[in-house]
A = this chain, B = another copy of it.
């Protein structure tokens, strides 16, 4: 028995395709909302159907242009709240600003917390998201957060390739846990690339590979691929260390600033991402494989609406 009335899913302008796929999974029509900008660059929202007491899900990854998409989400939430929505779940497949999650220099913001507060202030009842940059970001919220992970999806894809002599490689010492989990899933060893500044010149870094990679197929795992710089540098380093073939798995395909081209030109064999972010057709190339998270998000929305366990989706 649903705790709230009828389930409705609405999409901002960031990724209508994903929202439509979620609705298809759920077997419901997409919600009717009008989101646009006036000539003065002010975002405007109007829900074009009655949402009183409805169980409202607003789908919007914080993709480029990031601030616009965040503000759109906040304005949608405000409008839904004032329209007497029964419950408002912000569905944020990709949560931007995840890397600004601590003060590691003096006088900097913790924007990932700020965004959490903004969502709560606007009136969100709960959050549904995927593969946060750090799990602690859940704790930036005091409303319930359901964080899904695409790791099983990505691991299954790699397993289906039936590669031999694989090593999972973490591209950064500070974020090796995801790689460790992938290595455990694939039952293969782990290696880690360490970045170290050289001398007084802050700009030059040396990359060392800790662990044994020579003659192996490397699978790199990251939460997101942004400019691709880290991946490409890691590829070069791994090649120097004698790796034979290199794959990468990333939940979020940010692919900013020429990343797609850089990947195409690199000796990276394949990069697997998901559709938490929209990927412009111009950015796609044969090396980039995109898996859909719509079934994951759709199933989670169904379970949240119906009071069923979301955790059960990830039990072995």
Contacts and interface: CB of A to CB of B under 8 A. Distances in A.
A184 B195 CA distance: 10
Interface stretch (A17-25, A66-74, A237-245, A267-275): A66-74
Nearest to A43: B67
A109 B78 contact: yes
Nearest to A212: B210
Contacts of A104: 135
B107 A48 contact: yes
A72 B111 CA distance: 10
A71 B71 CA distance: 8
Nearest to A63: B41
A117 B82 CA distance: 14
Given A52-B304, A82-B144, A308-B50, A42 B99 contact: yes
Contact of A107 (B83, B97, B102, B194): B83
A75 interface: yes
A180 interface: yes
Name which of A67, A107, A136 has the most chain B CB atoms within 10 A of its CB: A107
Interface in A162-198: 170, 173-174, 176-177, 179-180, 183-184, 189-192, 194, 196-197
A309 B109 contact: no
A67 B78 contact: no
A285 interface: no
Interface residues of A, number: 106
Given A40-B66, A50-B107, 12 more contacts: A52-B309, A78-B109, A80-B107, A101-B136, A113-B140, A113-B142, A114-B122, A117-B122, A118-B122, A173-B179, A192-B210, A210-B211
Interface of A: 1, 3-5, 39-48, 50-54, 64-68, 70-72, 74-76, 78-84, 86, 96-97, 99-114, 117-118, 121-123, 126, 134-140, 142, 144-147, 170, 173-174, 176-177, 179-180, 183-184, 189-192, 194, 196-197, 208, 210-211, 226-227, 254, 256-257, 303-304, 307-312
12 contacts: A1-B5, A41-B96, A42-B97, A78-B109, A78-B113, A80-B107, A82-B107, A82-B110, A83-B144, A103-B147, A173-B190, A210-B210
